[in-house]
Chain A
């Protein structure tokens, strides 16, 4: 078990290393260095900068060194908790992330819990009542959830609850520890939008997983022992059918992070997604690098936890 965990952690580190390579070097393919781009934007807004000032800026950010050295410096910084400094905001990327990340994490975490719990519940109910109206309903809704773009969900909710009924605020998001009531009201629509697709994915997987487990000998044995439905379902069916669903957690987190880019745009929420999009439009490399690495890190971490927790859910799985 320990060797398995160590090996799995090492794989995670390797994956993150490759991610950092991809992110860093792909951004260097854009013609012009960050300082030049920033200077160009300053020129556009009426400012003027001498070549010397640009060189000074380059030296300050280490951009005068060869790209591989820049990469090594960046990685060295990461290990010291320093993700670099945004040329544009003249602010530490770490500091910017500290403001942005909690917003996305709060919304994302609630959406993850919501989609996982509801997905498991609906999938289970649909499978147990196979062929009944509830099964048809869950199946249709999960098909719909899989195909609607995140922004369509946002439009529907906004149109009904913010514009017509005026129950919920249109845009913005405040962190719950600053103003809980406001945060809750502002959070409802974005969270639902984020949860729609993973909820559909989870419910579908859960339904087919339960149907499979239902055919197992031990379930028939449980029934023939005369156990009540509740016991068979919770103790035998639910526990065994959860395993493939747990695997989905990593995928769900990915969908939610991807969705947050759009949801934060629609609802004007100052989170990671907005930050990335703004950084891409402003060509702020340092923020793009830091942001994507943090997202990849969290996804790798979740997948790691999922893999390790397998053994707990299914003692039959042996780690070599």
Chain B
């Protein structure tokens, strides 16, 4: 910013300043469940990082002589049908969920945002084409689209991330497109254009801060949804391929022993539910704390 004189002028008009960051934290941590959510996510991420230190055994170490053991002091959650330590597999499963959750969200958010910006900025035919394709992608249930794409690409961590990314792009595109359209109508964009500023760059600079808050909420809840979808894919057998430790495939492998060794099914399923729950909680907390209606309030 070269023009220094405008900044103080704005300051004098503005209402008494409320520390936005403090207000955000206060509202965000108001609900106890949000604190629980943040704690769960922290524990989950730390477990994923330090998995080799936490897991007592190699998650893929088979010991058929000791298969299908009930929980004991040696095997906290027992062993599975191949004699692998279930607790260690649960611990390594955090990594799969982490990779898929964050990987997918990063890829799909970036592509979705670019497409949305282009659609909103260029308008007309480009907008129509991009948004119709998004409508078509949304015409599929997420899991079925991911299934189709995973069938095309094949299983495995990387392909699951690609498939889920494509399936979740429309949400970001719609959001960005709507934000861009509303920003484009503003006079300051026209003014910028009039003084010869490269207008696409101006758009990006103005749209991003406006879209930041809804995007943050969307991304948070999306991580949960993506983990849920990956669990579904792995459950069916199309996602993470064996012997990779994924909670979804662990749950489906345990189904034969549901009557006698129920924890083989319940432990990984509950792990998924807890992580998804945490992201939903934090997403809701963010939504409340970032609510523009609350801005400036104490």
Which A residues have a C-beta under 8 Å from some C-beta of B?
A: 11, 14-16, 18-19, 22-23, 26-27, 29-30, 143-144, 146-152, 155, 158-159, 163, 254-255, 257-259, 261-262, 265-266, 276-277, 280-281, 283, 288, 292, 295-296, 299-300
Contact = CB atoms under 8 A, between A and B. Distances in A.
Contact of B139 (A16, A30, A146, A265): A16
Given A152-B270, A152-B272, A152-B273, A258 B148 contact: no
Give the one of A29, A149, A152, A281 with max B CB within 10 A: A149
Contacts of A299: 139-141
B107 interface: no
A288 B272 CA distance: 28
A265 B235 CA distance: 9
Contacts, number: 138
B152 interface: yes
Contact of B147 (A280, A283, A300): A280
Contacts of B269: 148-149, 151-152, 155
B136 interface: yes
Contacts of A277: 147, 236, 238
Contacts of A259: 143
B149 A26 contact: yes
A270 to B, nearest CB: 16
Contacts of A262: 143, 232, 235-236
Nearest to B151: A280
A266 B265 CA distance: 12
A230 B231 CA distance: 44
Interface of A is mostly: helix
Given A16-B139, A258-B141, A151 B235 contact: yes
A147 B148 contact: no
21 contacts: A18-B136, A22-B133, A30-B151, A146-B277, A148-B269, A148-B276, A149-B248, A149-B269, A149-B273, A151-B235, A152-B269, A155-B265, A155-B269, A254-B140, A257-B144, A258-B141, A258-B143, A262-B236, A288-B151, A296-B136, A296-B140
A276 B147 contact: yes
A189 B152 CA distance: 32
Contacts of B231: 149, 151
Given A26-B152, A29-B152, A143-B277, A255 B236 contact: no
B137 A22 contact: yes
Contacts of B262: 155, 159
Given A159-B258, A277-B238, 16 more contacts: A14-B132, A15-B135, A18-B132, A146-B280, A147-B228, A149-B232, A149-B248, A151-B252, A254-B141, A255-B141, A258-B141, A261-B147, A288-B151, A295-B140, A296-B136, A300-B139
Contacts of A19: 136, 139-140
B270 to A, nearest CB: 7
